[in-house]
């Protein structure tokens, strides 16, 4: 999955095709005209999207099982919340 390309299409819906590299491709509209875009904005959006996806996967794999243990009173709420904070620290959103 290329987060940059996905973000490019999301932020610039007039872009219909790209060619070239995955980090800074040349973009074109439906008429074949080149479309200029803010690569920094696209990169930031792609980094946020990647962090969200990584967090979601980690929550399902690591934090959700602890939540159920917390519900059954097998662990404390603090242990479950600590795992959530650990995941957030591991996959931070860019500043």
Residues 51-77 have pLDDT tens digits of: 999 999 999 999 999 999 999 999 999
pLDDT at 21: 80
Packing angle of the helix pair 77-90, 39-58 (nearest 10 deg): 150
State pTM to two decimals.
Answer: 0.81
C-alpha 88/C-alpha 26 separation (Å) is 33
C-alpha 77/C-alpha 92 separation (Å) is 22
């Amino acid at each position: 999955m290329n987060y940059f390309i996905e973000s490019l299409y999301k932020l610039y819906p007039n872009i219909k095709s790209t060619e070239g590299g995955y980090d800074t491709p040349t973009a074109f509209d439906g008429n074949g005209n080149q479309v200029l875009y803010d690569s920094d904005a696209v990169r930031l959006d792609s980094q946020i999207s990647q962090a969200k996806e990584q967090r979601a996967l980690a929550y399902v794999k690591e934090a959700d099982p602890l939540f159920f243990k917390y519900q059954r009173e097998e662990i404390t709420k603090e242990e479950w919340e600590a795992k959530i904070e650990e995941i957030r620290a591991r996959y931070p959103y860019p500043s």
